[in-house]
């Protein structure tokens, strides 16, 4: 049923590409943490810098210098093979809805990567909906922590999550 709804929304978006309601409805069904968390996990497992870079919001792609290098360093800090990976919602979310139909929705989740000797934590702040600037959907903030209280690497947007604490 979800595939049918997504297909209908995609078709309607071709006809009405600027419809805030259709953009929001499509993003709400195709851009959730349950879809993207496994993609982030796979990018870390395979050390695929490009796969993680694609998931970044436009603000990060534009404003973070040497983004590919920073992503590579973050991935390389996991110094042995990942043998288990899980994720969970962090419990926090951000929603801004305006009277003009513009909407932004962000959710936090956390990934746990287990190696033979360590468990790394990756908090992620993910923009699920942005119906007036769709290029901003994606990772708004990501960090690598080990142990849980020590931030080894952090990449985040220069605006939109200024109060983000990993």
Q: What is the pLDDT of residues 26-52, one digit of tens each?
A: 788 889 999 999 999 999 999 999 999
In this prediction the pTM is: 0.87
Rg (CA), the chain: 17
Whether residue 121 sits in one domain with residue 44: yes
Query: How is residue 143 written in tokens?
Result: 């960090």
Q: Are residues 4 and 67 in the same domain?
A: no
Tell whether 20 and 98 lie within a shared domain: no
- Look at the chain and report how many structural domains it folds into: 2
Q: What is the pLDDT of residues 58-90, one digit of tens each?
A: 999 999 999 999 999 999 999 899 999 999 998
What pLDDT digit, counting tens, does each position of 90-131 carry? 866 777 777 787 888 899 999 999 999 999 999 999 999 998
Residue 166: inside a domain: no
Nearest to 86 by CA among 44, 29, 128: 44
Q: List, edge to edge, every strand of the sheet that includes 151-156.
A: 84-97, 103-114, 119-130, 138-145, 151-156
- The CATH number covering residue 80 comes to 3.10.450.50
Residues 39 and 118 in one domain: yes
């Amino acid at each position: 049923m979800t595939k049918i709804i997504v297909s209908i929304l995609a078709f309607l978006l071709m006809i009405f590409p600027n419809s805030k309601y259709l953009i929001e409805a499509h993003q709400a069904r195709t851009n959730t943490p349950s879809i993207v968390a496994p993609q982030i996990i796979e990018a870390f497992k395979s050390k695929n810098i490009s796969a993680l870079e694609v998931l970044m919001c436009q603000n990060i792609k534009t404003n973070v210098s040497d983004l590919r290098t920073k992503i590579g360093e973050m991935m390389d800090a996991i110094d042995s093979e990942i043998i288990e990976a899980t994720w969970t919602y962090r419990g926090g979310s951000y929603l801004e809805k305006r009277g003009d139909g513009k909407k932004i929705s962000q959710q936090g989740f956390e990934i746990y990567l287990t190696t033979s000797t360590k468990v790394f934590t990756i908090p992620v702040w993910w923009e699920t909906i942005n119906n007036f600037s769709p290029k901003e959907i994606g990772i708004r903030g990501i960090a690598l922590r080990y142990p849980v209280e020590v931030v080894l690497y952090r990449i985040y947007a220069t605006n939109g999550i200024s109060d983000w604490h990993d």
